[in-house]
Amino acid sequence: MSYFDWFREDRLPTIYCAGCGNGTVINCTLSAIDEVGWKREETVFVSGIGCSSRASGYIAADSLHTTHGRALAFATGVKLANPDLNIVVFTGDGDLAAIGGNHFIHACRRNIDLTVVCMNNQIYGMTGGQGSPTTPRGALSTTTPYGAAEQPFDLAELAIAAGANYVSRWTSYHVKELTKSVRAGLETPGFSMIEVMTQCPTNYGRRNKFKQVADQIEYMKTHAMLRKKYDTLLEKGEPIPEGAIVIGEFARRSRPAMGVRRAA
Ligand code: SF4
């Protein structure tokens, strides 16, 4: 089976807007799955609602496109019913951290053996650009016309604190690192969370001074900072550059996990 066999050609092209970062994330995820050699009949994709969550519909494997925020609840059920299945959950910041927030922390706490790929575009894209739990302070959205006043969630830190075995954050610019990281997540028993900062030119970019898609990608490239450098700045008490996006592998551990594949 080749990488291309994972796509449902009859469902292409996708509904994504020109320049959306979601396609890049799907490509990286399927590349990683292809590298580890997972079989179609042993792999299930689960998603909730949102642009990110349309991903499962473009893949030629069993999939569950579930209700808003509930992808992890469905995925937990599938995994516990048959631990021999490989489960990948596609989700977004609104789906995972707002209506699905409680499922998220408890799936991390249970350390259920799933791989979550969260496309964090910092806004509700599909429903018209409302502020999400990861919209940065000061950012404009349809529900924050004067700038978001609230502190955003740090999804990766939340996953670490709640107990996930593997946690990383990359951006849609970092395709090689992202693919490698998804592979590490697939291969780590327990809950894996790969957060991907990705551009939504239609509903985030155009409201927030990114006139071109390339401007947002350039921003992610120039503002990305490896965790090691970030920690060094903190230790030295030096200022963190404004808008820094901390990237890297943040946690890889072997806490007891649920639903791990039975030994052959
Ligand atoms: Fe992508 Fe945003 Fe368009 Fe949704 S609304 S498809 S996230 S660019």
- What is the pLDDT of the chain when averaged over all its residues? 96
How does residue 2 score in pLDDT terms, banded at 50, 70 and 90? confident
Q: Is the pLDDT of residue 263 over 70?
A: no
Q: Which are the contacts of 264, defined by CB distance < 8 A and separation ≥ 6? A: none
Q: Is the pLDDT of residue 240 over 90?
A: yes
> Alpha-carbon distance 17 to 234, whole Å?
38
C-beta 141 within 6 A of ligand 1? no
Å from CA of 81 to ligand 1 middle: 34
What's the whole-model pTM score? 0.97
In the sheet that holds 245-252, the strands lie side by side as 62-65, 43-47, 86-92, 115-120, 192-197, 166-171, 245-252, 224-226
Domains, the chain, ranges and CATH?
23-200 (3.40.50.970)
What per-residue confidence (pLDDT) applies to 3?
A: 85
Å from CA of 202 to ligand 1 middle: 6
> Looking at ligand 1, which atom is closest to the CA of residue 52?
7
Q: Which are the contacts of 112, defined by CB distance < 8 A and separation ≥ 6? A: 75, 76, 79, 80, 190, 191, 257, 258, 259
Residue type, 207: R
Phi, psi dihedral angles at 258 (to 5 degrees)? -105, 145
> Looking at ligand 1, which atom is closest to the CA of residue 51?
4
Judged by DSSP in three states, 247 sits in strand
Burial (0-12, 13-18, 19+ Cβ within 10 Å), 101:
middle
What per-residue confidence (pLDDT) applies to 264?
A: 53
Q: CA–CA distance from 193 to each of 47, 155, 210 (Å)?
A: 14, 9, 28
Q: CA–CA distance from 229 to each of 93, 118, 178, 243 (Å)?
A: 25, 24, 19, 15
Q: pLDDT digits over 51-81, tens only?
A: 999 999 999 999 999 999 999 999 999 999 9
Q: Are 123 and 135 in contact (CB under 8 A)?
A: yes
Q: pLDDT digits over 157-195, tens only?
A: 999 999 999 999 999 999 999 999 999 999 999 999 999
Å from CA of 142 to ligand 1 middle: 15
Percent of the chain residues topping a pLDDT of 90: 97
